[in-house]
Structure 1
Amino acid sequence: MLEVHCSGTPYEIGHQHGTVAKDQVAGSLAFYENQFQETCSMNWEAVRKEAEKYIEPLTKLSPRHVQELQGLADGAGVDLVDIVALNVRTEITFSLYTSVPSTSIQTDGCTSAAYRQPNGEVLLAQNWDWQPQQAPNLIVCHIFQPGTDLPNISMVTEAGVIGKIGINSAGVGTLLNAIRARGVDSTKLPIHLALRTALESKSAREAADKLYKIGTAGSGHILVADESEAIGLECTSIGIKEINFDSDGTLPHTNHLLLDHPGVDEPGWLPDSKDRIKRISELLKEKLASTGIDHSSFFELFQDEQGYPTSINRAETSPGQGTVTLFNINMDLARRRATVTVGRPINWTERIELSPWLMCDNS
């Protein structure tokens, strides 16, 4: 997996991302152009029109991030609106789903969990499942922002997307579960920029407070944690509700809302989402009752294949069809480190260690 090291001003950070990962950004754009056309009969010009609606609100909400998006576009040799489209693809999907309810929508599915160990330290992990055609366009992005009080960030993301799944030098980690609910509000923060905002925070509570204040444009579950606390943020365009650790110190989530969200329309999407939340909860309880859970054994839960191929460790239903686990990330937040396992957790192809607290300016 390509690793990109970015530092400097927001524009410079974006420009380095776009320049070094130029081929992968082009790959992401091609993948989503095809994805929108195949699943929504929406051509890229229509996608760009939807994305344009977010530029002005984002310039007011988060000017630094718009500068980074502009730098990324310039580095990759594409238009700003193309890069914005990648970063608001969740919201564009849900906007279309709201206006044309019969639309067949596909988005990434995942299984995530946080666990607070008996010593109070928090572990955070997830499998990220998506179509294998997007695997070559995944990158690890390291971000160092000198002259600011913002923490360093190391995250796994789709090339061209500036906020995703990762860990920062303050020991804050973020995970994402896609949620398919109707409704979008372009005056609020898109889910992927909400993830970036969380990764620029120094505690889980600070991240949650920021997102409560701004709100999210679309739906998703953001699991944000630090070394002692984890907060599950079920986000919709209407509002955000939080889930905390249960009595066993566990907090699992998949791809459906667990809390009641009045006024939110969430039709069924992935039937296996309810099976996976049940299964990951069972595995957590079983492991706690036997050997206990540490950073190493936490990963083992995500190798589970009960319900194959739509299991926690997901496989394609047939060659080229359906989604598959593309990577696992397993974080030890007290030690401010994470292990990225590329590929399905039982037959992975590469391992990458993330330690953003060791990062320095490479420019």
Structure 2
Amino acid sequence: MSAPVTTFTSSVLPPRERGIELGERFRAEIAATVASYRRLWVTRAGGEFDVDLWAERAWDTITRVAPVHADEIAGIAEGAGRPVEEIAAVNARTELLVAANPTGQSECSSVVSAPPGGSPFAVQTWDWYDAMSDGWFHWRYEQPDGRVVETVTEYGMLGKIGVNGYGVGVMLNMLHHANDAARVAEGTIGYPVHLLSRRIMDEATSFDDAVRIVQAPTSASTSLTVVDRSGTGATFELFPGGPGRLDPADGLLVRTNHFVSPEGEAGCLASTISDSSTTRRDKLLAAFGGTPPATPADVVAAMTDHEPEGEVGGICCHPDRAMDPVLWHRTLATVAIDVASSTLDVRADGPCGRREHPAAAATAGV
């Protein structure tokens, strides 16, 4: 059985007050998230890394490019009793990871399906560091215009995977591009990609609105995959010098962690990390045979795929315990987006429903 999911519904409040409410409610969890990321950034750097300097840079960027979200982040910091720069760093955690070590980590798999005669939907495995296994929750909040937003996100972070009341859904998959290092060398941070996702959830009433939003210049390569109720969708491959775009083929879009668009392919660094991204995408495309799956359950079944323990390429990801435990990596959540009803189906752990690797579970008699 998967672990239970923490769900929190915010009161209808202005951004700063909503942040204060969240910070007060999850004070301990936010402190743990900050500590986990500080440890991760330093470990990924493999030496000295000035977390506080980059946190200040993150806060400076957020106050300039996203003042409304800066108000909410300031509220979270106040409610949690933390320096605002720490909460800014959590919201720019991808950008700080690139600054610490741009070689990165292979992770998430996403599928968008628009089946003939059916409602469009999307499914994502969120693969991340094992240390953050309990560092996330399912958040519902209402905007002043009455739209309800649902997002799976980390404690102190404004958004990640989600859907809004207009039926616009968004997913994230990390990418790695040669141009990332140049932005690190400049000592600058672009628009934090998690805040771009949150902005889509807050502002977009259609796919076309999302197209406008994702043009913001970023410094950490990431793909944002967007789909709306009409079934219109695409992946936007964000990188310094981008973005690129990947459109569905016959109602099916499969997204992992390498560049597919012509704009980004030349600088793609995924193969320097591992072959996992191409392996996972090929497996999913083969499983569907070019036909959009009919239901989220069909996607989850295809995603219940494992490699032998310690090897790469499993869609349902479990830790390689030969690694430093700080760097253990697994599927933390499986999320299905129903754009017709503007809701999320959120399950802790991978599609197989286990935290441990199946081989380890069998050995333990689980």
TM beyond 0.5 = yes
Q: Following the alignment from structure 1 to structure 2, what is the Cα–Cα distance between the partners of residues 140 and 287?
A: 31
Q: Following the alignment from structure 2 to structure 1, what is the Cα–Cα distance between the partners of residues 348 and 289?
A: 26
Q: Which residue of 1 aligns with 2:163?
A: 167
- Structure 1 unpaired stretches of 5+: 99-104, 350-363
Is 1:204 aligned to residue 197 of structure 2? Answer: no
Q: Within 5 Å, which residues of 2 pair with 1:262-273?
A: 265-267=267-269, 268-273=272-277
Partner AA of 2:234 in structure 1: I
Is 1:9 aligned to residue 14 of structure 2? Answer: yes
Q: Deviations over 1:64-95 (max 9, x none)?
A: 00000000111111001001111112112223
Q: Which residue of 2 aligns with 1:301?
A: 302
Instruction: Please identify, of 227-236 and 317-326, the stretch whose mean Cα deviation from structure 2 is larger.
Output: 317-326
Q: Which residue of 1 aligns with 2:153?
A: 157
Q: Within 5 Å, which residues of 2 pair with 1:110-149?
A: 110-119=108-117, 121-146=119-144, 149=145
Q: Which residue of 2 aligns with 1:33?
A: 38
Is 1:24 aligned to residue 29 of structure 2? Answer: yes
Distance 1:42 1:344, change over 3 A: same
Q: Is the Cα contact below 8 Å between 1:151 and 1:168 reproduced in 2?
A: yes
Equivalent residue for 1:347, pick from 337, 345, 353: 353
Partner AA of 1:77 in structure 2: G
- Structure 2 unpaired stretches of 5+: 356-366
Is 1:80 aligned to residue 84 of structure 2? Answer: yes
Q: Is the Cα contact below 8 Å between 1:122 and 1:230 reproduced in 2?
A: no
Q: Following the alignment from structure 1 to structure 2, what is the Cα–Cα distance between the partners of residues 81 and 341?
A: 31
Counterpart of 1:334 in 2: which secondary structure? coil
Distance 1:25 1:108, change over 3 A: farther
Instruction: Please identify, of 13-22 and 61-70, the stretch whose mean Cα deviation from structure 2 is larger.
Output: 13-22
Distance 1:327 1:262, change over 3 A: closer
Distance 1:108 1:52, change over 3 A: farther
What is the Cα deviation at residue 55 of structure 1? 2.6
Q: Is the Cα contact below 8 Å between 1:122 and 1:334 reproduced in 2?
A: yes
Q: Deviations over 1:302-349 (max 9, x none)?
A: 212256653001112227463111110012212222211111222259
Query: Please, what is the CA RMSD of the aligned residues?
Result: 2.4
Q: Deviations over 1:236-268 (max 9, x none)?
A: 022211111113x11101111112336974322
Q: Which residue of 2 aligns with 1:215?
A: 217
Q: Is the Cα contact below 8 Å between 2:138 and 2:346 reproduced in 1?
A: no
Q: Following the alignment from structure 1 to structure 2, what is the Cα–Cα distance between the partners of residues 287 and 117?
A: 8
Is 1:231 aligned to residue 234 of structure 2? Answer: yes
Partner AA of 1:295 in structure 2: P
Q: Following the alignment from structure 2 to structure 1, what is the Cα–Cα distance between the partners of residues 264 and 128?
A: 29
Q: Following the alignment from structure 1 to structure 2, what is the Cα–Cα distance between the partners of residues 264 and 144?
A: 41
Q: Following the alignment from structure 2 to structure 1, what is the Cα–Cα distance between the partners of residues 344 and 47?
A: 38
TM-score after normalising by structure 2: 0.84
